[in-house]
Amino acid sequence: MQLDGGRQYFATDKFSNLPANVKNHELFCGFLMTEHSKTIAILVPGPLNEQALSRIDTQFTLVKTQDLVTSVVPRDLAQRIRGIAAIIPVNAAMMDAFPSLEIIAHFGVGYDSVDVRHAAEAGIMVTNTPGVLTEDVADLALGLLLNAIRELPRAENWLRSGHWVAKGPYPLTKMTLRGRRVGIFGLGRVGLAVAHRVEALGLPVSYCNRNAVPDAPYPYYTNLLELAENVDTLISVVPGGVATAKAINADVLRALGPNGVFINIGRGSSVDQEALIEALKSGIIAAAGLDVYADEPNVPQALIDLPNVTLLPHVGSATEYTRGAMADLCVDNLISWFSSGRPITAVPETAHVLPR
């Protein structure tokens, strides 16, 4: 959208720390950004949403590269880079290669691929894109749950393969949602949205979290194994990282029981993938629905060959609507940082970082 004179401005209304006499903060920020922002170089290392790229190119000086080798970045360019917008991992070496770096705008809600500890020590702000993808990801969790229990992909294939005509109706499914008890591992924004959907199905919800969620009306378990022992359906929504690495292990899967169903929309690293394959093969649990994997996009053939698992290629937030909202929030974090000194969605580890 354009103001008089062709000046560009952004659409979000979530900014603070603006002068009290500024009634129209979009107008204020628009003039501020067009006056000064083109001197700010933003690096995009690798692929990024086209909407985000277009807005960065409009507001800043866009520096785009597909194969960044930090050891050969020209010194003058390295000095100019003040921000990074990325969906790819950003490690300490990449941060250290750019001495003027102030902010990393990560495209995505999970930011375990960014070395936030190093960023915090170096005084670099890190932002992510929470909230805007909550509903689509929660919808997908429900879809995976229905697919796993009612075998919808297999039933559709039965029809498409001509079996309905040649062999008759699809066999009755052994499982149903009726009588199920659902446990949610990770009751953050997405976990709560999943819980609300599960409640709408008439099923009881329990959860395991690092801490109890204030005002959450569900039974709380401090221990994941204890949660699994008290439910037969486990939905994992936790982020990656050391704290959750292989938290869903053979013991947890065994606790779900032979009628158990496991759904993962969080991170593949939170699951012992070999233990999950064995559990599905041997009937330790009945079924699973997965959107994330330990080594994406490499999904083990042993997992692909199993008939009792629904597999999706990490599409939880993959709608044009949500990816557009993520793109806007990613760029708006950059704009807010360079215009007001405060981003919109700082990650907790760097919330204390101030502009240089």
Would you call 267 a catalytic residue per the annotation?
yes
Would you call 296 a catalytic residue per the annotation?
yes
Q: Which of 180, 189, 267, 323 is catalytic?
A: 267
Biggest distance spanned by C-alpha atoms of the chain: 75
The pairing of strands 220-221 and 125-127 is unpaired
Token pair in block for residue 119: 């960023």
3-state secondary structure 277-298: HHHHHHCCCCEEEECCCCCCCC
Q: Which of 80, 163, 314, 342 is catalytic?
A: 314
Name the nearest CA neighbour of 124 among 110, 143, 111: 111
Phi, psi torsion values for 248, nearest 5 degrees? -85, 95
Task: Encode 96-112: b = buried (16+ Cβ within 10 Å), e = exposed.
Answer: ebbeebbbbbbbbbbbb
Q: Which of 35, 296, 352, 356 is catalytic?
A: 296
Query: Which alpha helices (DSSP H) does 221-356 contain, by range?
Result: 224-229, 250-256, 273-282, 301-304, 320-340
Q: What count of other Cβ atoms lies within 10 Å of the Cβ of residue 335? A: 27
160: left (phi over 0), alpha (psi -120 to 50) or beta: alpha
CA terminus-to-terminus distance, the chain: 30
Would you call 25 a catalytic residue per the annotation?
no
Q: Is the peptide bond before 297 cis (omega within 30 degrees of 0)?
A: yes
Active site residue ranges: 267, 296, 314
